[in-house]
Structures are given as C-alpha cells and as structure tokens.
Amino acid sequence: MRLKSLMLGACSLAAMTVWAQAETLTIATVNNGDMVRMQKLSDDFKAKNPGIDLEWVTLEENVLRQRVTTDIATKGGQYDIMTIGTYEVPIWAKQGWLQPLDKLVADDDYDVNDLLPPIRSGLTYEGKLYASPFYGESSFVMYRKDLFEKAGLTMPNAPTWDFIGEAARKLTDKSKEMYGICLRGKAGWGENMALLTAMSNSFGARWFDMDWKPQFDQPEWKATLEYYVNLMKDAGPPGASSNGFNENLALFQSGKCAMWIDATVAASFVSDPKESQVADKVGFALAPDNGLGKRGNWLWAWSLAIPAGSKKTEAAEKFIDWATSQSYTQLVASKDGWLNVPPGTRTSLYETPDYIKVAPFAKATLESINSADPDKPTVKPVPYVGVQFVAIPEFQGLGTAVGQQFSAALAGQITVDQALKNAQQLSVREMTKGGYIK
C-alpha cells in the first residue's frame, strides 16, 4: 500500500515535470514587417528550444498599447513577452512593472556592448537594461535624386532647414500634382507630434523647462510652428493635416513628393521595386538642423520586455536572446536577404560589408540614430528623457491634444498664435493636474 502510493506520487511528480517543461510563451507584438518576419522564422527557435511553444498576439500599435498597458497595470499576466517602445520603458521601469534583463546583459553571446549607445540608453533606467531592442529607428530626409538633379540642386549630407525650405518650394508644381515636401500632419502624439517635437529640438525649443513649466509661449516654438505651417502651405500636398506615415508613404511611392522626412524604416519600403515606383531614385540625408547643435530627428526602438511577476522568465529570456541577438540577424540574412534584417539596434550590423552593399540607407540611418540623444534631447536643459516625446504617463493624452491644435493650424482653421496659446493652456492645466507645477 505504502509502495503503491509512493509510486503514484512519483508518477504524478514525473508527469508534472513533463507538463511544466512544455511551456507556452504568449508574445504580444505589433503588426510591422519585421515583427511578422520574426513570427515566420520562429520555428528556428522552437527547434532549438524543444518544450517551449509560442503563441502570438499581433495587434495594431494603438490597440496593442492600450491592451498591454491594461494588463501590466493590473498585473493580469496575460503576456509573457511584450513588445513596447522607447516611450514606455522608462515609465514602466520606474513603476516596477518590468523585469531587468540582468541575465542577458551578463551573457557574452548577447553582447550588450554591441547595442547602439542611444538605443541602449533609451531602454535603460537607473543603470539597468529593461528591454532588448528588436529594431530601432530614427528619422531622416528621403529625397528624389532625379528631381534634384533636374532642378540643379545638390542635397548635402546634413542639410539645414533653410535649404530644405528653398528646395521644397523650387520643386513644387501643384498643377502637375508634384509637391516639394511631404510631412506628417495627422494629429497624435506618435503622429504629427513625433515630427514636430523632433523638429522643435532643432529650433531650440523644448516642451518644459527645468521646473516643468510648459514652453509653448516661447519664441522657439513659434518659429518651429510658423516654419512648418508656411512650408506646408507653399510646398506640401493638399489635405496634409490628415496625412500620417502611411498616407505620405503612398504619396512618396507614387512619385508625388520630392522630399519626405520620416522614419528610417521607410527607406526599405521606398527602395522596394515591388511596391515603389521611385525605388531606384531615392537618396537619403540626415534630418535638417538650424546650426544649434541638435538635428530634427527622433529615436525609437520596438523592444521586447518581460513583465514583472512573470512565471516564465527563463523561457522568455531565451526567446528575447534568440530574437535580438546577432545570430537572428544572420538567420534573416540567410533566409530573406540582408535588406530585410531588422535595422538600427547593433553596431556590428553597420560593420557588415554585405549589409552596406545592399542597403544604400545604412550609413544615413546609423548617423541619424547616433546623433539622437534621449538623455539630452534639446538645446536647453530639460527635466525629461525622450527625443520626440516626453517620457511621462501624461504625455499620450497631452501630446495628442497639442497635436490637434497644431493640426488645426496646418489646416488653416486657427492661426499659429492661437494654436500655441491653446497648447500652452492645455499643458499648464494638465501639468497642474498632474502635480508637476503648482
């Protein structure tokens, strides 16, 4: 009898260990080309890690953000790995919602020092890495080499806003639906405010001073917004106030824009002959500046993180290691070619001759990322981190509200002065409510 129950116990213990080994990781991710590719290639991970199964929850960016924020804030535990951006990492790390990736950092194979310094610093909070970058991006100027040549213009490697404005006006021919420049105008903290905040950095503006006082009443913001609205009025496409990334991509790919300042990941879309009518005519240059020492480019990295309290940390770490290490880059290169490897996370990629050969935008991407500094994003000192955003929880709502004002100014519904006045009021109210200012 005793033996029997002992045997039974042993059997059930064995069964439990087998059961515990067959773990399923639920991964929440965005629907971007590189993420979809990772999902397709994940059989390689399963082959190397038998006993770990993967479930994918792919969602549109804004839905995903809402979904994972609800889950992590309530400790719902629905996801073992979350795809989050540079905006979330410092906020969530401060809240204690993420597990530091100490094990990865200590792992020589992972080679944490290979990560591009600005990207790494954006994902670090109080000296600890809280998310591992899957792909990184900055923004830069994409322009039509053929049109520039025809107009007798030469794009410098690092243009100024003055040059961009002049060239854009010269290249515009509205009767032929040819526009000198396409920029984001759709309201949203990740839409027009990404462009405008990054742009304002190069004009010497900032969101808040060291006492968290909103700065929209300062001349730098007026210069930024006036320049943007006038430029778009003279040389932008009609209805620009509803254009986001996708709309501008469609315009640029169909040959209607001479210049487009946007995310560096767009480079591989506009260079793809299957999708783009201008694939072989695109040149790349750094985002413009005003000689003040800051360029108008942003910094973002879609990264993988593990929620605090996860019970599958070990398996999750294995997966993150697989997806964000150099060997994953090699895997993509061997399966889909170098052009399709996730860009912007590691120095080693930009030292790979095969990659440099096929990616004409590699050099400009690397320089753009390296010129962004999330810790010191502006000319004047600021109390926040983030280049095209302010890493505080209030920013999503505030950024979008301000974006609506600026979008209305672009559409001509209100004046630039009115938009800035409203933005200032909105920010003061929100920051007072948040307890930043009295």
Give the residues lining the site for other proteins (CB under 8 A).
26, 28, 30-33, 36, 39-40, 55-63, 66-67, 70-71, 73-79, 190-191, 244-246, 249-250, 253-254, 256, 263, 265, 269, 274-275
Which DSSP state fits 339? G
Nearer to other proteins, 15 or 63 (CB): 63
Cβ atoms within 10 Å, residue 228: 24
Nearer to other proteins, 35 or 104 (CB): 35
Output the smallest distance, CB 435 to other proteins, in A: 21
Nearer to other proteins, 138 or 290 (CB): 138
Nearer to other proteins, 100 or 403 (CB): 403
- Residue carrying structure tokens 């773990």: 23
Nearer to other proteins, 293 or 337 (CB): 337
Nearer to other proteins, 163 or 269 (CB): 269
Output the smallest distance, CB 420 to other proteins, in A: 27
- The full 3-state SS of 48-83, as one line of letters, equals HCCCEEEEEEEECHHHHHHHHHHHHHCCCCCCCEEE
Nearer to other proteins, 66 or 154 (CB): 66
Output the smallest distance, CB 85 to other proteins, in A: 11
Tell me how long the chain is.
438
| DSSP characters over 263-278 | ETTHHHHHT-TTT-TT
Output the smallest distance, CB 390 to other proteins, in A: 20
Q: How far apart are CA 417 and CA 134, in angstroms?
A: 41
Nearer to other proteins, 4 or 274 (CB): 274
Nearer to other proteins, 130 or 245 (CB): 245
- 155 CA to centre of own chain: 25
Output the smallest distance, CB 192 to other proteins, in A: 13
Token pair in block for residue 119: 């990207």
Residue 323 CA neighbour count, 13 Å, CB half: 32
Cβ atoms within 10 Å, residue 291: 9
Nearer to other proteins, 52 or 229 (CB): 52
CA distances from 62 to 66, 137, 191 (A): 6, 18, 11
Q: How far apart are CA 190 and CA 113, in angstroms?
A: 29
Which residues does 45 contact at the CB level (< 8 Å), separation at least 6?
Answer: 52, 54, 319, 322, 323
Which residues does 385 contact at the CB level (< 8 Å), separation at least 6?
Answer: 90, 122, 374, 375, 377, 391
Strand partners, 73: none
Nearer to other proteins, 269 or 436 (CB): 269
The beta-carbon contacts of 112-115 under 8 Å, at least 24 apart in sequence, are: 114/326, 114/346, 114/347, 114/348, 115/345, 115/346, 115/347
Contact 79, 28 (CB under 8 A): yes
Q: How far apart are CA 346 and CA 366, in angstroms?
A: 10
Which DSSP state fits 279? G
Output the smallest distance, CB 286 to other proteins, in A: 21
Output the smallest distance, CB 355 to other proteins, in A: 21
Output the smallest distance, CB 62 to other proteins, in A: 7
Output the smallest distance, CB 67 to other proteins, in A: 6
Output the smallest distance, CB 44 to other proteins, in A: 16
Q: How far apart are CA 313 and CA 73, in angstroms?
A: 18
Output the smallest distance, CB 269 to other proteins, in A: 7
- Of 368, 375, 381, give the one whose Cα is nearest residue 206: 381
